[in-house]
Amino acid sequence: MSIELKGVHKAFGASKVLQGFTLDVQEGEIVTVIGPSGSGKSTTLKTIIGLLEPDEGEVWVDGENVHQLGLDALYALRRKVGYVFQFAALFDSMTVRENVAMGLRRMPGLSEAEIQERVEDALSRVDLEGSGARFPAQLSGGMKKRAGLARAIALNPRYLLYDEPTTGLDPLTVTMVDRLILRMRDELQVTSLVITHDIESAYRISDRIAMLFEGQVLEVGTPEEIRSSESSRVRAFVEGKPELLEDHQ
C-alpha cells in the first residue's frame, strides 16, 4: 500500500498551482519533495488527505481513491494518516497534552489511561516531556513544531505527511527530527512524504527526492541522482545558486 498522485491539477482562481503532479511513495519509503516556496508543496499534501479537492487527476492512499470516498470512509482513512502542519496548527484553546490526545480520542477502543500513556510517549519522542501542561501560546516556534509532530506520531499512523518539519529549528533539533522520521520508518514501517527546504536533511533521510517546479515533478531520484542531476534548475535549487538558472535562460 502506498501513496500515489496521478496527474493532479489544482488552481486557486487564476493561479495554477499544480499542473499534472505525478508521484508515488512506496510502502515504507521516505520520499522528500523539494521546491521553491509557493510552488505548491503544501497544496500537494492537503490534496492527499482530502483537505483540498484536485481539479483534475487522482490521489490514491492505502489503495483508495481519496476523492471518491464518502465522508465516513474519508475520516476512517484520515485515522491512518498523520499530518504535520507547516505552522503546527495547534489548537490554541488546549494544552499541548490535550492537543496530542485529540487524535487519539477518535481512535475506537482506547481507554483514557492508554491515551495518556501514548501522549506522554509521543511528547518524550520530541523532547517535550515537561511541556505537556502548557498552552501553545506559551511555546517557542520550535516547540510548537515539535508538539505538532507529537500530535501526528501519537496516532501511530501508517502514513506520515510532514510539511517542512525542520524549518526554523536549531541544528540539534533538526537532527533529532530527522532521526525521528527515520525511526518511524524503521520501527513502524511508516510510509512518509516529507516536504522540506533543508536539502542536507533531505539527503540524510530520503529514499528518493522529488523536485517540484511549476506544478510538476521536474525530477525524481535517489539523493545521489539528485546531487548529480543534469538539470540546471535542480542544481540551482539544491546548490542554492540562482546564477545557474540565469545561465539556463
Partner 1 sequence: MSILSPVAWVGRTGIRIVGSVGQAGFLAAGAVRALRNVTIWGPNLVPQMVAVGVASIPIALFIAAFTGIVLALQASYTFTGTVPLYFVGALVGKTIILELGPVLTGLALSGRVGANIAAEIGTMRVTEQIDALESLAYDPVAYLVVPRVLAGLVMFPVVVVFAMAMGIGSGWLTSLGLLDMSTPQFVRGLRLFFETFDVQFALIKAASFGLIVTGLGCFYGFTCTGGAAGVGRSTTRSVVVASMMILVLDAFWAATLLRS
Ligand X SMILES: Nc1ncnc2c1ncn2[C@@H]1O[C@H](COP(=O)(O)OP(=O)(O)O)[C@@H](O)[C@H]1O
Bridge partners of 211, per DSSP, are 34, 219
38 lies in the site for ligand X, by CB under 6 A:
yes
The C-alpha angle 46, 139, 45, rounded to 5 degrees, equals 10
Q: Which of residues 49-68 bind partner 1 (CB under 8 A)?
A: 49-51
Residue corresponding to grid cell 527526492: 209
CB 84 within 8 A of CB 165: yes
Nearest distance from C-beta of residue 203 to ligand X, angstroms: 20
The residue within the footprint of partner 1, chosen from 34, 61, 90, 123 (CB under 8 A), is: 90
Nearest distance from C-beta of residue 185 to partner 1, angstroms: 20
Q: Which residue number, 42 or 131, has a Cβ lying nearer to Mg ion?
A: 42
Select from ligand X, Mg ion, partner 1, none the partner in contact with residue 90, using the beta carbon and a kind-dependent cut-off of 5 to 8 Å. Answer: partner 1
146 lies in the site for ligand X, by CB under 6 A:
no
Element (H, E) at 42: helix 41-48
47 lies in the site for Mg ion, by CB under 5 A:
no
Q: Which residue number, 37 or 111, has a Cβ lying nearer to ligand X?
A: 37
83 lies in the site for partner 1, by CB under 8 A:
yes
C-alpha 235/C-alpha 30 separation (Å) is 21
Four-CA torsion 87, 37, 18, 2, nearest 10 degrees: -60
Q: Which of residues 122-181 bind partner 1 (CB under 8 A)?
A: 151, 155
Q: Write out the three cell numbers for 201.
A: 536533511
Residue corresponding to grid cell 516547540: 143
42 lies in the site for Mg ion, by CB under 5 A:
yes
43 lies in the site for ligand X, by CB under 6 A:
yes
Write out 165-187 in H/E/C secondary structure.
Answer: CCCCCCHHHHHHHHHHHHHHHHH
Residues that bind ligand X (CB under 6 A): 12, 15, 17, 37-43
Residues that bind Mg ion (CB under 5 A): 42, 86
